[in-house]
Structure 1
Amino acid sequence: MSQHTNQYGQPVGQSLDWQERPYPQREIFIGQSCRLEPFSVATHADALFEAYSLAEDGRDWTYMFVGPFTHKQAWLESAAQMESSRDPLHFAVIDLQTERAVGSLALMRIEPQHGVIEVGHVAFSPLLKQTRMATEAHYLLMHYAFEQLGYRRYEWKCDSCNAPSRRAAARLGFRYEGEFRQAIVYKGRTRDTCWFSIIDSEWPQVKSGFERWLHSENFTPQGEQREKLEALRR
């Protein structure tokens, strides 16, 4: 990046013709294999509890701020908070084949004045994990943030101990930025937080990789991928 200086000869960031971006809304986003809907207790809570209950144990919730939910009432109380929240703004992931909710994720730490937004609270059930739908759900929210809202920076953060989350961030095209030590206390534990991001100048290449990967020609009749997302992004 070229060096910019002010009238005092001090190095400064590049000037921007910038206006505050819109706040994300409770919209519906439709893909080829899944649909994102604003989370609703009445519409999604029962199906999600059933989907989450398919897991053999509670390990999917180890690095989440909530859960695991062994009793439905505890889940419904958490779900009510999800529905009423504006930041995080939660979306349910709907399987287009079954029309059932199979997971959720959220836009959070929303800063329209800076054009910065984070994806988080990613809770994918066994019906959603490691599927084409899971990747498409992330693509749909990224597309919304960059192309409809015009945000400049899309973040991913996770517990430094959460190796699957770190791998997922890299696969989806996020760039590792560093580790914030002792950033959070949750579930009676200390957490170092890993930061990742995609910025708007990187989005075209990331988008192209997603769209090539999601194309029907990239999948066998049995639904197996022919090329990995990382390879198609390169």
Structure 2
Amino acid sequence: MFATSLGDDGAELCPLQPWQAEEFLAHVDRGREFIGRFNGLPDVVEDVAGARAFLEAYAGKEASDTGLIRAIRLDGTLVGAVILRRLDVPQGAAEAGCWLEPAAVGRGLVTRATRLLIDWAVRERGVHRVEWWVSAGNAPSIAVARRLGMRKEAVLRESYLYRGERHDEEIWSVLAPEWTAASEAAAG
């Protein structure tokens, strides 16, 4: 099934397709409250039709080379995902994102999966800049950005209205030369 190993712990990065809508909904249901603390996904994926529509939107983005979604599986179970919410190859820019259900937290899955996603965007698609937009209160996601070697560039004060409350958003990024230099240094 076109999976890429994320390590020796049974974790894999795999395609996530509209025909998997029921499984995707079950995953969102398992993590609905946890995921929804900072991510609007549970508000969009409320039933199988919503799950299918979300996955179809990402299938359309992938077909038009403007984004993509990949499942994070642990021992075959869908436990999270990484996305390129935006992929603009002509401009050399992308925005990455992620989520996990609670059972998968603390294993480094998002960091490993996002590392593969960024590496693909930079090396295969020629992206020069990858952004990571995050609620200022989302400490685990900010920690991922740091582990990936991203730099905080801005705080957009009270820019994000979510569930009736205004939140500050931070913008983190990594540039292709930084990414490749860090990858080469880590390899060797």
Instruction: Quickly say closer, same or farther: Cα 1:150–1:50, change in 2 above 3 A.
Output: closer
Within the candidate set 5, 23, 30, 2:4 is matched to 30
2-structure distance, mates of 1:130, 1:207: 23
Instruction: Quickly say closer, same or farther: Cα 1:50–1:201, change in 2 above 3 A.
Output: closer
The structure with more helix, counted as a fraction of residues: 2
Instruction: Quickly say closer, same or farther: Cα 1:199–1:159, change in 2 above 3 A.
Output: same
Asked whether the 8 Å contact 2:21–2:55 carries over to 1, the reply is no
2:149 aligned with 1:173: yes
The structure with more strand, counted as a fraction of residues: 2
Matches within 5 A, 1:8-19: none
2:72 aligned with 1:93: yes
2-structure distance, mates of 1:180, 1:211: 35
Asked whether the 8 Å contact 2:94–2:127 carries over to 1, the reply is yes
Matches within 5 A, 1:94-109: 94-95=73-74, 98-109=75-86
Post-superposition offset of 1:157: 0.7
| 2:170 corresponding residue in structure 1 | 194
2-structure distance, mates of 1:185, 1:119: 20
2-structure distance, mates of 1:103, 1:78: 17
Post-superposition offset of 1:111: 1.8
2-structure distance, mates of 1:153, 1:58: 32
Instruction: Quickly say closer, same or farther: Cα 1:116–1:77, change in 2 above 3 A.
Output: same
| 1:137 corresponding residue in structure 2 | 113
Cα deviation digits, residues 167-214 of structure 1 (max 9, x gap):
2211221111011123222222222210000001101243247668xx
Asked whether the 8 Å contact 1:93–1:103 carries over to 2, the reply is yes
Matches within 5 A, 1:39-78: 39-43=16-20, 45-46=22-23, 49-50=26-27, 53=30, 58-67=33-42, 74-78=46-50
Q: Percent identity?
A: 23
* Structure possessing the higher radius of gyration over alpha carbons: 1
TM-score (norm. length: structure 1): 0.65
Aligned residue type for 1:94: R
Cα deviation digits, residues 21-47 of structure 1 (max 9, x gap):
xxxxxxx56134333233224336426
What are the ranges of 5 or more consecutive residues in structure 2 without an aligned counterpart?
A: none
| 1:14 corresponding residue in structure 2 | none
Aligned positions, number:
177
What are the ranges of 5 or more consecutive residues in structure 1 without an aligned counterpart?
A: 1-27, 213-234
Matches within 5 A, 1:149-168: 149-168=125-144
